[in-house]
Each structure stands twice: as structure tokens, then as C-alpha cells.
Amino acid sequence: MTEGFEDSSELARKAELAELLLHAARRLGETLEPERVYDTFHELLTGVVPHDGVVVSSFDDRDDSITCEYAWVEGNRLDPSSFPPITLNRQGGGMQSRVILSGEPLVVNDVEQVVRQPGGTFYDVDKEGEMRKLPDVKPPGTKAAMMVPVKEEGRVVGVVQLMSDRTQYTLAQLEVFAGLVGQMAAAVRTVRLQKERRRLEAAEAAARAIAAERETAVQVLEAVGDGIFLLGDDGTIRLWNRGAELITNVRASVVGGRPITSVFTTWETLSPQIPVAEAGIAPRSATLPMEVGGSDLWLSISGVQSAAGTVYAFRDLTSERRLEEEKSDFIATVSHELRTPMAAVYGAAQTLLQRGPDLGPDRSRELLEMIVTQASRLSQITEEVLLTGRLDRGEVRVLREPVDVADVTRAAVDAMREQLPEAAAIEVEIEPNVGRAAGDADRIQQVLVNLIDNAVKYGGGQVRVRVEPADGSVRVAVADSGPGIPLADHERIFEKFYRADPHLTTAPHGTGLGLYISRELVRRMSGRLELAPEGAGGATFLVDLPQA
Ligand code: ADP
């Protein structure tokens, strides 16, 4: 029955050990920091295996270094960093090295003997953390030691040493010690994994925050109305925002990575005039005419130096600039146009006043007629300017009623014939069944008078006016046999104050408002006024009015 007794005491011991380890696993599992795990491990050890020192070391097989992670000596917790890392002795000298190499636990109950053997480096540490290399100085106080490897997936990743100055260690104690080391190692691993996971989660959250911030920055960059682009030091475009696309009509996908000169062709000559500020300083901006795709844009532009290159911001001032130009055109044209007839009226009136009685009746009449003609020209200019202003402000009311276009055309031609020299021949051709248009008879006549006047003024020679039906509308074509209008001016002649070749001394007088007013009036009747594509010479203007 002795055997049975032994069995049952062995069973009881095993059960006790299992209970101890279970308790240890629970306690260790509650800890979140690796340092605290070592403390808990040591607390668990105290009371079950007597000892005077505990050292936990990690082993890194990449450089064979053995580093102290935790040290407790004679009631004092020591700073592990005060132990210099030692290198694994592959010859097997030194107890730690032997355990790491074999992966097996070690119990040494004759430490004094062992440290005298050559091949290992032995330190003795007192409770103040004072370290002495052994056995140089004096024999160590340690009598017995147990060393257990810490393993991870079969590889040795550390060693735990337990030292006693008094007792000898038994295999049963080794079993308890090894069990606790196993639990401690598992807890350290879990804590490290958790810590790593928390670190990864924090890194991921930080990355997400940065991405969100970037996303917001991109959205802001896309939302701003200003054009913004980043120019790399090599002169290529790195970023081209939506505002830049809209202003220049050049897509980011087209310019990305291409030289800036592919968009702004005159960049090389103009860029020295663009102020570029250091980062953090608000830059002034310069207003420059930048050529984009063959036309000039007036851009207010400035740059800021950044690590990635120069960031330029620009704003389109073309329409503001055009307004400025229009204003000065207006003043120049109006004063120029008013000056000639006014001088004529003034001169004629002056002559009549000073030399009235001496002038013959024919000369007097001539001067009076000049005053009348020039005064009427003056009032015509004033009318045109005023009408333009009213059109721009949307104050002109245009009727929409059935109009016999043939009648209106005849009336316009008759009115013109009265004013024209005999030589100016106007031919009228009206197709049958042209039908009636919806519009304002007076305004239509005003438009036709202006077109015929231009045809005579600029075209000269034969003028042909033709009324015909054209695809749901009534068309009046006014054609002359003059020099025609260069293609580049086809749209511009309809702009306010625009006059082709106004500086030619031979150019007849005019405000450049006639065609603008005509087109605006026709538009208000839902019609169209256009220049016919270049034909056999001369210019042909087409007025299309919707059928009534
Ligand atoms: P204005 O006659 O007062 O100059 P318009 O707006 O009527 O103003 O015409 C604008 C310009 O268009 C003219 O200055 C002239 O250069 C050009 N133009 C108009 N009609 C003709 C035409 N029939 N032939 C050639 N050029 C023309």
C-alpha cells in the first residue's frame, strides 16, 4: 500500500500544483503591463519556492544577446537596465548560455564550484544592485540556483533564474518554478500582443485621422473658386485643382506631370513678375495677361514656396478687366464720335453768326443743313449709347406680335433710299409666302436700317436685301459686295464698341454699338442675327425671326 500512498501523495502534489498554476494564470491574466507581470510572477513565487534572488532575462537570437528584464535581489527590485547585456556563449560556458543552448532547465546546487570553472561570466548582485564579476572579487553568496528557459513556439526567448543563499533546490521545486515560468511567459506574450494591438490600433486611427484630414484638404482645394496648382522644382505641374480647370479650361488629367509652359505658354517671360512668398507669409499678387490655349486671360496670381515646390493661386480677372476696357472704350469712342459733329455744328453756327449777312443764301442753307445733319448724328449717337445702357439693364420692352416682314423690309429700304446718294443701289427680293414673324415691327425696322446702313457704309456698291422662309423662321438677308469681314472679326463685330480697323482714316464714323444693339433686339424677339459664312465676297448678315 506504500505505493498507493505514494501515488496519492503524488496526486495531491500534482493537484496542488495544478491549482497553483490555475491561480497563477488568473492573476497573471489580470495584468496589462509586462513589468507588472514580472512583479505578479514574483509575488506568486514567494511562499512556494524559497529564494534570495530572481532574474528574468530575454534572449535575442539575432545577435545572441541576453538582456535583463527584471531583477529582484534580497528584497529589492533592481533596475534591469543596470545589468549590461551579455552575449551568449556558444561553447556552453555559463549557466544561462547552457540553458539557452539546450532549451532544458538546470538546477545547480554547488554554485560556488561552478563559477570557479572557466568559460562563463558570472555576476553577483547585492541588494543595493552593486554588481561584482565573479569569482574575481570574492566567492558569491549564492549556494543554489535554478534556471528555466522561456520558450515561444519551441524557440528559447529567455531565461529565468532563481537563486538561494541558504537552501538546495529539489526537482519538485523546479517543477513548480518551471510551471510558474510557463504561466508568466504566456502572460508576458499576451500582454505584449495586446500592447502591440493597441499600438497598431492607435497607428491605424492616426492614419485614418491623417487620411480624413487630407481628404478634407483635397475637398477644400477642389471647392475653392481660385485656381491652385503646385509647380515642382523641375517646372512640371504636380497638382491642378478644379478651380484651375474651370478658369483655364484645361483638365488636370491632361496637365499632370507636364511642364507649366504647356498651359501658360508665356510662363517663362511672365513668371519673374509673379511674387513668390516664403511659406507662412501672405503673398501679394500680380495681375498679368497669361496666354492659355491661344487667348489671353487676365490672372491675378501669386505663389508661396513650400517643401514640395511652389504653390500658385490665381483668380480670373478677365471679365473685370474687360469691363475696365469697355469703360475706357466707351469714353474714348463716345468722346471721339461726339467731337467731330460737335465741331462741325460749332463751326457752321459760328460762321453763320459772324458772317451771316455776307454769305449768299446757298452757302447759308448749306451751313444750316450741315447743322441739322450733324445734330441728328449727335442725337443718334446719344440714342445708341442710351439704348445700349437700357438693354444692358434689361429695361427695353420688345413686342411679340405678328409682323409682316416683307412690309417692314420695304419700309426700311424706302427710309434708307431717301438718305442715300443716288449711286447706292439697294435691290429688294421677296419670296412669295414667307409668312409672318412674331416680333416688334419698329425694332425689326431699326435692325434692318442699321444693317443696310452698314452695307452701304462699309460695303459700297450693290446692296441686296432678300426675304425668305427658312426652317420655321422668316429670314432677312442683307448682302453687300464690299470687302467682307475677316473671319477673326465674325463674332467680335457684335461686341459693344467693337470696330474693325477704327484707325483707318478711310473708315466711316461709327460707335461700334449698331450691331450690338441689333443682335440684342433680335434676341429679345427670340430670333438670331448672324453673319453668313464667307461667300463669294462681301458680307451677308442674316436676321432669323420666329414665325408667328
Ligand atoms: P459702327 O458701324 O458704328 O462701327 P457696328 O456695330 O454697326 O458699328 O459695326 C461694327 C463694325 O463691324 C464696323 O465698325 C465695321 O468695321 C464692321 N462692319 C459692319 N458691317 C460691315 C459690312 N457690311 N462690311 C464690312 N464691315 C462691316
Query: pLDDT of 458-467, one tens digit each?
Result: 887 789 999 9
- Indicate the pLDDT class of residue 327, thresholds 50, 70 and 90: confident
**Rounded Cα gap, residues 512 and 220, in angstroms:** 44
Give the residue, out of 448, 515, 518, with the most ligand 1 atoms within 8 A of its beta carbon, to mutate for a pocket test: 515
**Nearest residue (CA) to ligand 1, atom 11:** 499
Which position has the grid cell 503524488? Answer: 10
**Nearest residue (CA) to ligand 1, atom 8:** 512
**At 111, phi and psi to the nearest 5?**
-55, -40
Reported as a single tens digit per residue, the pLDDT across 216-226 is 988 888 888 89
Residue 314 contacts residue 226 (beta carbons within 8 Å): yes
User: What is the chain's Cα-based Rg?
Assistant: 52
**Rounded Cα gap, residues 463 and 457, in angstroms:** 11
What is the 501 CA–ligand 1 centroid distance (Å)? 10
499 vs 353, residue with greater confidence: 353
Reported as a single tens digit per residue, the pLDDT across 163-202 is 998 889 999 999 999 999 999 999 988 988 888 999 999 9
What is the 338 CA–ligand 1 centroid distance (Å)? 18
Provide the 3-class DSSP secondary structure of residue 97: helix
* CA angle, residues 116, 117, 118, in degrees to nearest 5: 115
pLDDT for residue 1 is more than 50? no
**Nearest-atom index, ligand 1, CA of 455:** 23
454 vs 337, residue with greater confidence: 454
Provide the 3-class DSSP secondary structure of residue 312: strand
Give the residue, out of 330, 446, 447, 454, with the most ligand 1 atoms within 8 A of its beta carbon, to mutate for a pocket test: 454
| 443 membership: H or E segment, kind and range | helix 441-454
Please compute the mean of the pLDDT values over residues 133-140 and round it to a whole number. 45
**Nearest-atom index, ligand 1, CA of 494:** 6
pLDDT for residue 357 is more than 90? no
- Indicate the pLDDT class of residue 138, thresholds 50, 70 and 90: very low
**Nearest residue (CA) to ligand 1, atom 13:** 499
**Nearest-atom index, ligand 1, CA of 454:** 20
Q: C-alpha 178: how far from its chain's center?
A: 62
Residue 169 contacts residue 192 (beta carbons within 8 Å): no
pLDDT for residue 85 is more than 60? yes
**Nearest-atom index, ligand 1, CA of 499:** 14
**Nearest-atom index, ligand 1, CA of 450:** 7
Please compute the mean of the pLDDT values over residues 414-434 and round it to a whole number. 85
* Ligand 1, residues at Cβ distance < 6 Å: 454-455, 458-459, 480, 482, 485, 493, 498-500, 510-516, 539
Please compute the mean of the pLDDT values over residues 11-22 and round it to a whole number. 88
Query: Virtual CA dihedral for 200, 206, 212, 217, nearest 10 degrees?
Result: -140
326 vs 19, residue with greater confidence: 19
What is the 289 CA–ligand 1 centroid distance (Å)? 28
Mean pLDDT (the chain, rounded): 88
**Rounded Cα gap, residues 282 and 395, in angstroms:** 44
Please compute the mean of the pLDDT values over residues 10-36 and round it to a whole number. 87
**Nearest residue (CA) to ligand 1, atom 2:** 510
Range among 117-131, 375-389, 501-515 with highest mean pLDDT value: 375-389
Whether pTM exceeds 0.85: no
pLDDT for residue 117 is more than 90? no
